[in-house]
Chain A
Amino acid sequence: MALRSIWNGTIAFAGVFVPIKVHSATEDRSVHFHEVHVDDGARIEHRRICSKDGKEVPYKEIVKGYEVSEGKFVVLDDDEVKAAAGERSRLIELEEFVRAAQIDPVMFVKTYYLGSQDKGKEAYRLLHDALDKTDRAGIARWVFHNREYLVAVRALGDVLAMHTMRFHDELVPAKDLEIPSPSRKPSKRELDMAGQLLESLHATFDATKFEDTYRERLLEYIQAKAKGKLDELPRRTQAQDPDDLMAALEASLAGNG
């Protein structure tokens, strides 16, 4: 299945241009619902109503208001908001290259894959291989949907990946946390023992070992309800009362039986 691209443009590093397409690297698989009217099951529509004249407002008559004091707005139209994106550009210009491992993952918001285009495959491969060889990530600005993002471009397997990043002032620094110091520090013996415990639980990271069991249960429940077979669902998907000691005992016994 070919991936749909959401943007296409060019990566520039120094004088070299690499034509690319941007694809989402992640997809939200949570279960989504529609809002419906409980009486007739009909879809709910969200209508925009003017608070002054009570009439519905068509989309093109909507402007943005920045509230400067209670009920007082500075009004901006779409073009004025768009102006904040800066120069509209199809270029992602790698300005400098940092050690990829230096960027704390807390900076990353969303990841995209950069796909090659039919033209310029050699340049794509060259940038990929050079980033891979140097273990560096290129830092750039990316204008997408009228907003400017800070991005890091790096090699990931055979492809180029691009992370959008948070800005430093969007992070809560550790010094703002209130972490009380115990009157007695952990002893060396305690640290050694905790270290051994940590070592005994060491494993190789494998994302496939973790499933979204909540999503699975919810989808199972929905299918059962649609077929009118809710009573046939295994017990664990029924409501569980944490105070129900008997049920907990039964479940434990069944598990050992």
Chain B
Amino acid sequence: MARALWTGSLSFGLVNVPVQIVSAVRDLDLHFRQLHDEDKAPVETQRWCSEEDKEVPYEAITRSYELDGGKAVMISDEDLEAVEPRKTRTIDIDQFVDLADVNPIYFDHPYWLVPAGEDEGAARAYRLLLGVMEQTDRAALGQFVMRAKEYLAIVRARDGALALTTMRFHDEVRPTRDVPHASGKSTKPSRKELEAAAALIEALGADWAPERYEDRYRKRLQKIVAKKRKGQTIDVPTGGDDQPEAVPDLMAALKDALEAARR
């Protein structure tokens, strides 16, 4: 099983559930090293002082924050420690919300929660919370500290386990009012058009089945690497950058599409 990234307990009311956090995703990307074209030797990154033109050892590097007006202030490790949140070992649940009310834009990184330790009590408390959450469509909201940072998290039942996802804060989600859209009266579709478009969407309807979609990019990249390894050449596709014109007669286009979809 995946390595525990955090160990502590989930607490709501006076109930404590000892849990560990493990990642819910795995990295399947192909990773590359940077090489020098001339001699195919790996390239290393060195840190140089831009003023003195010499390499700087790791211990001699600190961070600085640029204030408005260009003034900078140096922030040491000790400074960061001074503002570090108190290292608590609990995920404090203060409310349960309807999952359907939470816009998925807020979801950031997904994790799993598993009971911590061999202790029978942990397993029972976990089962109890899971059992009760499986009976509702509610999710728990709470805050916790991981890697010296405070997170807002949402906890819910998924596939017979408790899932935790860190959340973005509200000021990290942009309002939609600045996005050009078409809500005015002049663009309102006629009932006939809307019905035809909805019928088209239903005709192209399918059940969501994620295993039907594969990462074609990853597959192609694996193929390219395998070909290159055998000394074969790679065809580089070109073009395909043109854009189709917007359709002037929506109704006619919808009718054609509907007929095609129903055939």
Contact = CB atoms under 8 A, between A and B. Distances in A.
Contacts of A171: 24-26, 110
A148 B217 contact: yes
A133 B194 contact: yes
A232 interface: no
B243 A51 contact: no
Shortest beta-carbon contacts, A-B, top 3: A14-B257, A120-B246, A33-B63
A157 B176 contact: yes
A25 B165 contact: no
Given A42-B50, A44-B47, A130-B194, A33 B65 contact: yes
A52 B161 CA distance: 50
Given A40-B52, A98-B206, A133-B198, 20 more contacts: A28-B172, A35-B61, A49-B44, A53-B41, A84-B221, A99-B207, A114-B179, A115-B179, A115-B180, A115-B181, A122-B189, A129-B189, A130-B201, A158-B176, A171-B25, A172-B112, A174-B160, A191-B135, A198-B96, A214-B83
Interface string A150-172: 10000011111101011111111
A250 interface: no
A137 to B, nearest CB: 8
Contact of B61 (A44, A76, A208): A44
Interface string A176-203: 1111111111100011001101110111
B28 to A, nearest CB: 6
B44 A51 contact: yes
A155 to B, nearest CB: 10
20 contacts: A14-B253, A33-B63, A37-B56, A41-B64, A43-B50, A51-B41, A51-B43, A62-B43, A64-B33, A76-B224, A81-B224, A82-B236, A86-B220, A106-B110, A123-B247, A129-B189, A158-B181, A182-B123, A194-B15, A210-B170
A14 B105 CA distance: 27
Interface in B109-124: 110, 112, 114-115, 118, 120, 123-124
A158 B80 CA distance: 42
A57 B193 CA distance: 59
Interface string A213-257: 111011001110110000000000111101000000000000000
Interface string B32-74: 1111111111111111111110001000111111110001111
Given A16-B257, A182-B123, A198-B136, A125 B34 contact: no
A25 B174 contact: yes
A188 to B, nearest CB: 10
Given A37-B51, A80-B234, A177-B1, A14 B200 contact: yes
A48 B100 contact: no
Contacts of A34: 63-66, 72
Interface residues of B, number: 168
Contacts of B136: 195, 198
A208 B172 contact: no
A172 B23 contact: yes
Contact of A179 (B25, B98, B126, B220): B126
A6 interface: no
Interface string B151-181: 0100000111101010111111110101111
A16 B249 CA distance: 9
Given A83-B224, A179-B126, A46 B72 contact: no
A167 B253 CA distance: 33
A14 B260 contact: yes
Nearest to B14: A197
Contacts of B150: 212-214
Given A40-B51, A50-B41, A61-B37, A74 B104 contact: no
A147 B250 CA distance: 32
A21 B180 contact: yes
B79 A159 contact: no
A183 to B, nearest CB: 7
Contact of A80 (B42, B48, B228, B261): B228
B205 A161 contact: no
Contacts of A64: 32-35
B49 A53 contact: no
B22 interface: yes
Given A163-B104, A174-B112, A48 B213 contact: no
A44 B163 contact: no
A167 to B, nearest CB: 4
A84 B217 contact: yes
Given A29-B171, A47-B46, A98 B208 contact: yes
B29 to A, nearest CB: 9
Contacts of A208: 170
A111 B105 contact: yes
Given A47-B45, A221-B79, A101 B100 contact: yes
